[in-house]
A and B are shown apart, each in its own frame.
Chain A
Amino acid sequence: MEEGRAERRRRTEAPSHTQGGPRRAGVMTDVHRRFLQLLMTHGVLEEWDVRRLQKHCYRVHDRTAAVEELEDFINNINSVLESLYIEIKKGATEDDGRPVYALVNLATTSVSKMASDFAENELDLFRKALELIIDSETGFASSTNILNLVDQLKGKKMRKKEAEQVLQKFVQNKWLIEKEGEFTLHSRAILEMEQYIRETYPDAVKICNICHSLLIQGQSCETCGIRMHLPCVAKYFQSNSEPRCPHCNDYWPHEIPVFDPEKEREAGTSRATKRSLRSRQH
């Protein structure tokens, strides 16, 4: 009873998510709140950018505190987000395995997060592009093929010229990536929509044999058809001179990509210093 009253007093003074029970939720401070807001604003961020963001939030709100280890920092926030059915999810870019983070909905979501930024016909254009991408062999859909579907869109009539601009908007907002006139899903879309895609396109969806996550781009075995992400291939066949398919044991017919983690980290830091130099110049 004593405990109950003391706990109650604490609760009425300041909302706290650290009370009893086996699952202790973390504590949110302005450092965490600003971090969450900025992550939400950017949609998706690469790990080096996330670390920079974290340091920025500490600098603004709590200069004296030690910057918590990123994994713990994020787990702390996620324990608070759990009751809201959202989480900061970690994924990797499909082309070279760079770690990325996004705030995603744990319950199934349609393209709902996009719904606030795009009109009905624009969302439908995205859905059409998404279908083409998922059905394709390479994970890419050509601009021409997407634009040819413009007449089938729901909502207000859209001209091809306008559709080109809308596709660029998708790229700017990190839903699609463009490479030489072809479009594939940005890691943001993969992180946020994986569940939706699996449920909506259960027959067409491709899964990586190694990590079992959604696969858009990757390599496939020509004999048995299993697929793997490029970074998963790199890791699995690392320093293996005779790569063989993990499923059917046939020779793996593709070039094994090599990702140098050291080089990635260097690239990350040099990008960070470049940006800060630029802003100091004005």
Chain B
Amino acid sequence: MLQKPESGALPIPQAEGEKDGDRDGETQALTASQNEVPSPFLQESPKEDLGARKEEGATESALTPKGSRTLAAKALARRRAYRRLDRTVAELVQFLLVKDKKKSPITRSEMVKYVIGDLKDLFPEIIARAAEHLRYVFGFELKQFGRKHHTYILVNKFKPLEEEEEVEEEDLGGDGPRLGLLIMILGLIYMKGNSARETQVWEMLRRLGVRPSKYHFLFGYPKRLIMEDFVQQRYLNYRQVPHTNPPECEFSWGPRSNLEISKMKVLGFVAKLHKKEPQHWPVQYREALADEADRARAKARAEASMRARARARARATDRAGIYPW
């Protein structure tokens, strides 16, 4: 369930795209998307679109009146298509930002239904550009849950700041209390050996004055928050424990928790709560250390593969003579 960085990274479209002869110039420019700059530049400079110019020269001589009209019409159509594509990418970026605030994973079909519409054949292109914007402008990584499931989440490039920082309140944002509740539950789960019975969770919360179905001024209806929201958002897993009678259910960390926080951090939080050092719990401490080592290795691997991909991309575009515009 721990999201491996390689499989989580977006597939980068190489020179795919439609093989439609008429729109060659357009699609070549569209598919070399990874490092593309937004629309104003595409609109300004059809003359820099060398790929297209080559193609246009082949069909009509630009010197005849008919030729130049066709040229102009094609340029206009191309610009319109670019604008529409840019608009769709911008809408998708906003859609993803808004949906991510809810923390529920976003499916490809949702994106197609609400934003992309009939441009859905260009989905890989559109999502790659949206991912690039999210990364460059906001510092969010768009991650896919495995290659088969078309579900995505945004992971923040920035880790929340340590408490020593004077302005730690800045980074919790509006979601502070709910996140605090979640961390308490993650802590309980971790300390109980990576799963906790539902009854144990409610017992802990009852001691904090939080009851499942009683409206709480900070958390709303806690039962809904924990059993529905946190589970839907993939922060928690909830399942029935086999062979229990009467049937019992248990919580464990969800995939998003593994992506957004670490065992070491949660252990640190629990330790602080008890005014002790993390090492006070040697079993959990060792486990957390091992987890840190795993993460460091995965990160190194991901960075190496991204660099290799970038080099391959650069080589591919050079070789094909395809200019980004």
Contact = CB atoms under 8 A, between A and B. Distances in A.
B239 interface: no
A25 B38 contact: yes
B261 interface: no
Contacts of B317: 8, 12
A240 interface: no
Given A21-B40, A83-B40, A38 B171 contact: yes
Interface string B223-234: 000000000000
B138 A37 contact: yes
B98 A279 contact: no
A137 interface: no
A36 B101 CA distance: 14
Contact of A115 (B98, B168, B174): B98
Interface in A28-64: 28, 30, 33-34, 36-38, 40-43, 52-53, 56, 60
Contacts of A20: 41, 44-45, 48
B138 A36 contact: yes
Interface in A1-27: 4, 8-9, 11-17, 19-23, 25
Interface in B291-325: 310, 313-314, 317-318, 323-324
Contacts of A165: 215, 217
Given A279-B167, A279-B168, A19 B41 contact: yes
For chain B, what secondary structure do more than half of its interface residues adopt (helix, strand, loop), or is it mixed? helix
> Interface range on chain A: under 10, 10 to 19, 20 to 34, or 35 or more?
35 or more
Nearest to B86: A83
A11 B215 CA distance: 53
Contact of B324 (A8, A85, A115): A8
Contacts of B323: 4, 8
Interface in B155-210: 156-158, 161, 165-171, 173-174
Nearest to B167: A56
For chain A, what secondary structure do more than half of its interface residues adopt (helix, strand, loop), or is it mixed? helix
Contacts of B215: 162, 165
A279 B139 CA distance: 27
B35 interface: yes
Contacts of B39: 83
B9 interface: no
A276 B169 CA distance: 11
Contacts, number: 125
B18 to A, nearest CB: 23
Nearest to B101: A116
A30 B140 CA distance: 11
A117 interface: yes
Contacts of B318: 8
B93 interface: yes
Contacts of B97: 40
B137 interface: yes
A274 interface: no
Interface string A241-258: 000000000000000000
| Most chain B C-beta atoms within 10 Å of own C-beta, residue among A15, A16, A40, A165 | A15
A172 to B, nearest CB: 8
A180 B239 CA distance: 48
B48 A12 contact: no
B112 interface: no
B132 interface: yes
B166 A276 contact: yes
Nearest to B35: A11
A113 interface: yes
B315 to A, nearest CB: 9
Given A12-B310, A13-B310, A33-B137, A86 B40 contact: no
A56 B6 CA distance: 33
Contacts of B166: 276, 279-280
Interface string B38-80: 1111001100101000000000000000000000000000000
A81 interface: yes
B94 interface: yes
Interface in B75-134: 86-87, 90-91, 93-94, 97-99, 101-102, 132-133
Interface string A63-80: 000000000000000001
A84 interface: yes
A105 interface: yes
Nearest to A173: B174
Contacts of A30: 139, 157-158
A86 B137 CA distance: 12
Given A8-B317, A42-B173, A279-B166, A21 B44 contact: yes
Contacts of A85: 87, 90-91, 94
Contacts of A17: 37-38, 136
Given A12-B314, A84-B133, A279-B169, 13 more contacts: A4-B323, A13-B314, A15-B36, A17-B38, A20-B45, A33-B139, A33-B157, A33-B158, A37-B156, A38-B173, A40-B138, A85-B87, A116-B102
Of all A-B residue pairs in the complex, the 4 with the closest CB atoms, nearest first, are: A83-B38, A41-B173, A33-B139, A12-B314
Interface of A: 4, 8-9, 11-17, 19-23, 25, 28, 30, 33-34, 36-38, 40-43, 52-53, 56, 60, 80-86, 105, 112-113, 115-117, 162, 165, 172-173, 276, 279-280
Interface of B: 34-41, 44-45, 48, 50, 86-87, 90-91, 93-94, 97-99, 101-102, 132-133, 136-139, 156-158, 161, 165-171, 173-174, 215, 217, 310, 313-314, 317-318, 323-324
